[in-house]
Amino acid sequence: MKILQGAALVGQSGGPTAAINATLSGVIRGALENAGAITKLYGMKNGIEGFLEERLVDLSGLFHNADGQIDMDKLELLCQTPAAALGSCRKKLPNPQEDKAFFENLIQLFQKYDIHYFFYIGGNDSMDTVAKLTAYLQDAEYDMCVMGVPKTIDNDLAGTDHTPGFGSAAKYIAATVSEIIRDCAVYTVPAVTIVEIMGRDAGWLTASAGLPTLTGRPAPDYIYLPEVPFSIDAFLEDVRRALARHPNVVIAVSEGVRDKEGHYAGESAQSGVTDAFGHRYLSGTGKALEMAVKEKIGCKVRSVELNISQRCGAHIQSAVDIQESIGVGKSAVEAAVAGKTGCMMAMERAEGEYTISFVPKEISGIANAVRSVPRDMIIPEGNNVTDTCLTYIFPLIQGECTQKYVDGLPAHLIIE
Amino acid sequence: MKILQGAALVGQSGGPTAAINATLSGVIRGALENAGAITKLYGMKNGIEGFLEERLVDLSGLFHNADGQIDMDKLELLCQTPAAALGSCRKKLPNPQEDKAFFENLIQLFQKYDIHYFFYIGGNDSMDTVAKLTAYLQDAEYDMCVMGVPKTIDNDLAGTDHTPGFGSAAKYIAATVSEIIRDCAVYTVPAVTIVEIMGRDAGWLTASAGLPTLTGRPAPDYIYLPEVPFSIDAFLEDVRRALARHPNVVIAVSEGVRDKEGHYAGESAQSGVTDAFGHRYLSGTGKALEMAVKEKIGCKVRSVELNISQRCGAHIQSAVDIQESIGVGKSAVEAAVAGKTGCMMAMERAEGEYTISFVPKEISGIANAVRSVPRDMIIPEGNNVTDTCLTYIFPLIQGECTQKYVDGLPAHLIIE
């Protein structure tokens, strides 16, 4: 395949993470270091949605300093900035067979800016975008390398050992839950604390709450993932058993747990709740379980929703995750310049000592597949994860980043 | 006054903070360095409640290494451990005039362990304990130095420029809100994010969310403190005005805001809500405001409760706060050994460049007084804080601690 010459376009899509900008910095560095092929790098604001409105940022200009050198300080600052610095979108592309006009319009825009490289950083929906664009380009008379670059805190993308962004979220969760456990340990009155963790369908993030046990440190008494049907009665039984052992019970639960009929815990526990305006009120999973414990057990109970901080808590990034996030972005560019297209840059783990290699994989087999926690990584009782699960996650939270603080707060790079 | 010789007792009380163990480490270091006066240091488990059950820890033994030297590594590990390492309690002592027997029993226990120094680390309730014990001892035939050592994330103790623990909580809040603002900035759809921050009566913590503005960085659009009567209509008007300016609106609100009749926002906005069991459901302030925005404005809205992480997020301690927390503990011991009693160790701020000195102050004028955010530190409209307020808080969040991580997670010292 011939080596293309032209501009490159990079975008970010889907939910924010603490590492998606590290991946962007990898793409930027890769592009700037391959100036022979990539003549200019554009960033699309708010993903493909912003590109359609021609909202572009000249990243080549932004990340070169006055001497014409790559601005490494700015790249580092980008790495420690949480959430998508270019903005994001949730736009799903139409099917190429059904809406050719949409893609013809896209191609015209690519031509207008001489764009021949397309890098899209995101999760499942973003890989769908990459797959559709790839499919369309197969029959189109336009040469362009299209590469998907994975990111998602949920760790649910197929075709890769794990996803960039997951490690930092897992580190935030394990550290925060460890702190919550210390907080809960100070009183002697029996009390239950329920920590609700993100993950609608995949339980990887919630599983991370168990990491301290691997090194003999306190961890939640029970961990409930969406991969196993949730029973409120079994849950209450678990809580009673834990309270019999010690006064300070801590539970980690995925927001996505559902009973065997598929009802979320927040639904079933509160089916009769209406608000002042007569609307049905749907609480979060943690709050619903809190109310169930209060009603059925009657002890002191509270719920803590880790909420969006678990995906944007960049001040406690995992160094391994950030290095890999940069690497997956940079290697995607290098693979594209070497002629690859229609791929997602995946990570492969070697046997034995933890090492990762970056491997381009055909996008068609990856998009729209979801990778859940396998049943054998959950204990038979369904209320905790196995050591195999934790051993898999463990390397991904290792190492701390030296963050730059300005006036007492982490410094962020804002791209206007 | 003669210099007492005997054992010392230290306890922690009230809600956990990220710096209360740094203060404990200061007391330990102060005691071990003054072995001429303090023959032995006991820690009471779960404060005065545990002492009454004679649950004591030999801290002198625990913090000396095998060579008989003070174990500085262990003291450092204690400093970075969140929540009260000795455990806490919420016990309020009886009035000395009304329950002499209670205090006679206490004195007998002091005698049993030859305790002549008493250090109590805590907030308002703990200073009440110190005040009552001091009052009783004035007429009792038992020589004991009693010192209160302040801590509270709420920063609401009288008699001191600020309280140890507040700076780290403020740093956590300002950093986390900064990250949330980045997270919210990625989409173009109008959306409101309401961040609920601790503080039932004092708004210092919520005010901290505004710190980024001091250095020209993005901060919440509006900040609501419990010191100003809260109006849901004015709030909705503020939100509408912010949405007219930009799509991503972020609001910081204290959990304690109430209307001019004294009703919490969580009460008034949901007066008609009942749960599946027919109970009245009281949501948090953030959730109540979320529902109000959804109902009255109808845009995308969510609420984020920072919850207990803001008081136990030790992984992002303020270095200034930790140094001061150690200092206030150590200087309390030094003052006691020099003959002071019946005091709280306060912090005084010098004019000009930020410097703090530790000054013992009579406990009688301090206990049970609450220091709120003065009205002139809140803008006239009541929906934000002034630069004077932020300038006061600013020095307290400066500096980062070099934390020890083990296997990817912050290391904690657990005292069994």
Mean pLDDT for chain B?
A: 94
Cα pseudo-dihedral B193, B198, B204, B209, rounded to 10: -30
- What is d(CA B159, CA B345) in angstroms, rounded to the nearest whole number? 9
Instruction: Give dist(CA A204, CA A389) in Å, integer.
Output: 9
Three-state secondary structure call for residue B196: strand
Please report the sign of the dihedral spanned by the C-alpha atoms of residue B371, residue B377, residue B381, residue B387: negative
Query: Cα(B413)–Cα(B411) distance, rounded to whole angstroms?
Result: 7
**Residues facing B147 on adjacent strands:** B119, B343
Q: What is the pLDDT of residue B242?
A: 98
Confirm whether B67 is a catalytic residue: no
Predicted local distance difference test score (pLDDT) of residue A282: 52
A1 pLDDT higher than 90 = no
Nearest Cα of chain A lies from the Cα of B363 at a distance, in angstroms, of 25
Residues from chain B that touch A84, judged by Cβ atoms under 8 A, are 186
- CB count in 10 Å sphere of residue B300: 15
Least CA distance to A214: which residue of chain B? B407
| Of the candidates B163, B126, B129, B130, the residue with the CA atom closest to the CA atom of residue B145 | B130
CA A203/CA A337 separation, integer angstroms: 36
Q: For residue A76, what are the contacts with CB-CB under 8 A and spacing of at least 6? A: A25, A404
Confidence of residue B266 (pLDDT cuts 50, 70, 90): confident
Q: Quick check: helix, strand or coil at residue A262?
A: coil
What single-letter amino acid sits at B361? K
The verdict on a CB contact (< 8 Å) between A407 and B398 is yes
Residue B228 DSSP code: S
Cβ of B16 within 8 Å of Cβ of A81? The answer is: no
Beta-strand (E) ranges in B154-270? 191-197, 222-224, 248-254
- The whole-angstrom separation of Cα A247 and Cα B79 is 25
Looking at residue B259, its pLDDT comes to: 93
For residue A412, the chain B residues in CB contact (below 8 A) are 178, 182, 217
Residue A274 has pLDDT above 60, yes or no: no
The Cα–Cα gap between A319 and A401 comes to: 5
Residues in B touching A47 (Cβ below 8 Å):
none
Residues A358 and B48: their CA atoms lie apart, in Å, by 58
Highest average pLDDT, of A269-273, A274-278, A297-301, comes from A297-301
Average pLDDT, chain A: 94
Q: What are phi and psi of A406, to 5 degrees?
A: -120, 125
Q: What pLDDT score does B2 carry? A: 64
CB atoms B82 and A410 under 8 Å: no
Within 8 A by CB and 6+ apart from B61, the residues are none
Q: For the residues of A226-295, what is the DSSP string, one character each?
A: TTS---HHHHHHHHHHHHHH-SEEEEEEETT-B-TT--BHHHHTTTT-B-TTS-B----HHHHHHHHHHH
Quick one: tokens of A276?
């002042």
The DSSP symbol for B274 reads B
For chain A, give the number of residues.
416
Q: How confident is the model at residue B271 (pLDDT cuts 50, 70, 90)?
A: very low
User: In chain B, which residues have their Cβ closer than 8 Å to the Cβ of A250?
Assistant: none
User: A32 has which bridge partners?
Assistant: none
| Token code pair at residue B224 | 């609501």
Checking if the pLDDT of B220 tops 70, the result is yes
Cα(A9)–Cα(A16) distance, integer angstroms: 19
Per-residue confidence at A2, pLDDT binned at 50, 70, 90?
A: low
Q: Tell me, what's the pLDDT at B135?
A: 95
Instruction: Please indicate whether, in this complex, the C-beta atoms of A407 and B400 are within 8 angstroms of each other.
Output: no
Chain A CB contacts of B291 under 8 Å are 275
Q: Is the torsion defined by CA of B86, B92, B94, B96 positive or negative?
A: positive
Structure tokens at B5: 């010789």
Band (pLDDT 50/70/90 cuts) for residue B322 is very high
- CB count within 10 Å of CB A308 equals 22
A vs B, Cβ pairs < 8 A, gives: 196
CB A133 within 8 A of CB A118: yes
**Residues A228-270: pLDDT tens digits?**
999 999 999 999 999 999 999 999 999 999 999 998 887 644 4
CA A289 to chain centre: 26
Pick B83's closest partner by Cβ from A88, A182, A399. A182
Q: Given the residues B125, B128, B154, B221, select the one marked as catalytic.
A: B154
* Strand pairing report for A409-410 and A343-349: unpaired
Other C-beta atoms closer than 10 Å to the C-beta of A245 total: 8
**Residue pLDDT, tens place only, A126-170:** 999 999 999 999 989 999 999 999 999 999 999 999 999 999 999
How much is the pLDDT for A90? 87
CB–CB contact B183 A308 (8 Å): yes
Residue B163 identity (one-letter amino acid): T
Mean pLDDT of B31-37: 97
A8 pairs with which residues across the strands?
A41, A117
| Amino acid A283: pLDDT | 64
Give the count of alpha carbons within 13 A of B295, CB side only.
Answer: 17
ipTM reported for the complex, 2 dp: 0.95
End-to-end CA distance of chain B: 37
Average pLDDT on B213-240 reads 97
* Range name among A58-72, B57-71, B281-295 with the lowest pLDDT average: B281-295
What is the C-alpha to C-alpha distance for residues B72 and B81, in angstroms, rounded to an integer? 14
Q: What pLDDT, in 10s, does the model give residues B121-168?
A: 999 889 999 999 999 999 899 999 999 999 999 999 999 999 999 999
Contacts of A93 (CB under 8 A, 6+ apart): A48, A102, A128, A129, A132, A133
Q: What share of chain A is helix, strand, coil (3-state, %, to 5)?
A: 40, 20, 40
Residue A366: the pLDDT is 84
Helices and strands (H and E) in chain A: how many? 14, 13
Consecutive H or E run containing A392: helix A387-393
- Residue B366: pLDDT band (50, 70, 90) is confident
pLDDT reported for residue B283: 64
The pLDDT score that the predictor gives to residue A275 is: 45
Q: Closest residue of A to B179, CA-based? A: A312
Where does residue B333 rank: exposed (0-12), middle (13-18), buried (19+ CB within 10 A)?
A: buried
Minimum mean pLDDT range among A271-275, B10-14, B148-152: A271-275
Q: Cα dihedral angle (B113, B117, B119, B124), rounded to 10 degrees?
A: 100
Do B217 and A269 lie within an 8 Å CB cutoff?
A: no
Task: Please name the residue of chain B whose CA is at the shortest distance from the CA of residue A168.
Answer: B408
Q: Which amino acid is at A115?
A: I
Residues above pLDDT 90, as percent of chain A: 89
Q: Do A186 and B87 count as a contact with CB atoms less than 8 A apart?
A: yes
SS3 B133: helix
| pLDDT tens, residue by residue, A352-398 | 999 999 999 999 888 778 899 999 999 999 999 999 999 999 999 99
Helix (H, G, I), strand (E, B) or coil at B212: helix
What's the rounded mean pLDDT across residues A27-48? Answer: 97
Which strands form B191-197's sheet, in the order they lie side by side? B222-224, B248-254, B191-197, B300-305
